[in-house]
Amino acid sequence: MSGVQVIAVAADEAGLRLDRWFRQHYPELGHGRLEKLLRTGQVRVDGARAKAGLRLEAGQQVRVPPLPPAAAAAPPRRRPVSDSDAAALRAAVLHQDDAVLAIDKPAGLAVQGGTGTGRHLDAILDALRLGARERPRLVHRLDKDTSGVLLLGRTRAAAAALTQAFRDRQTRKIYWAIVAGVPQPRRGRLAAPLRKGGGRGRERVHVDAEAGQAAVTDFAVVEAVGRQAAWLELRPLTGRTHQLRAHCAELGTPILGDGKYGGADAYLSGMPLARQLHLHARAITIAHPDGGALTVEAPLPRHFLQTMSALGIDRSQYEDPFADLDEDAAGTTAGRRRRGRAQKREKTS
């Protein structure tokens, strides 16, 4: 391509990251080349310098500098999805409508590719077209070793709306975790800013009150196993990388199996428990692109259930540890009564 172009962002492209916008319009342009163009200010949005992760808005003007011919770097070919991967992915569908798909992502499957990651969800999403013309689009992420609800937009417009809902925090995300030890207090809000570090290929975050990004998590004990372990419900109010893992470690109760953040303390000695991460995206409620709200819940994975059984945790006795707060937010008398009972239990425990 010769000469500078200025291209307006289309309405159905609102919410796309700048790098993904380029990937769709100029698949021949490699990520490294794009990063160089961004660093040198040759790519601009509305006349200003921009970063690859910038979320675009409809009508914004993207300056595209002269690019090398497409033959210089052909777009990568997607490998065909194997029959076994396709069947497993379709069996994991929790919800399907014209705009949204929700799947139960298994632990161990990365959402996107990266250094040393050959197999990932983004590479096999063609298996989830399910009769649609468009390939479904990722709108958020879960860690490779975290299981549970993952949402996808079935059209570009739906993906943009879901992405906007996540950015505007029009969601309620519920995670379940089993941790080593019991946090004190048993319910609270942890506001501990997080900063990325660890170097390329060794993604890790650290609590950093001065340079970190705001990260807030509500936590509550659903059931404690003496002082040895606890079943927690976690509600992240922000969506930082590894937020729940870092916050649980900050509480002094690392998630079972999370040696990255908890070291040896993330394992219970003398018990034959799975050494997998015990963190599960249990449920999500989000504004639906077509109006109203969508709630999706994912069943617990096998290793989580086995650990609960080994620890003597009866999940059939589950009671929402935040029920009083939810009801108080709606101004109900029942919520105030329930909060009083909860406070009394906390004082006696």
Catalytic residue positions?
143
Task: Please tell me the distance from the alpha carbon of residue 42 to that of residue 116, in angstroms, as a whole number.
Answer: 31
* 253-257, long-range: CB < 8 A, 24+ apart: 253/179, 253/180, 253/181, 253/182, 253/183, 254/179, 254/180, 255/177, 255/178, 255/179, 255/180, 255/279, 256/177, 256/178, 256/179, 256/180, 256/229, 256/307, 257/145
Handedness of CA 105, 244, 251, 196 (dihedral sign): positive
Quick check: helix, strand or coil at residue 105?
Answer: strand
Tokens of 148: 């549970």
**DSSP summary character for residue 298:** -
Tokens of 56: 């675009």
Task: Please tell me the distance from the alpha carbon of residue 249 to that of residue 70, in angstroms, as a whole number.
Answer: 48
Phi-psi group of 102: left, alpha or beta (phi > 0 → left; psi -120 to 50 → alpha; rest → beta): beta
Strands 171-180 and 229-236, by their bridges, are antiparallel
Strands 279-287 and 147-153, by their bridges, are parallel
Strands 194-197 and 204-207, by their bridges, are antiparallel
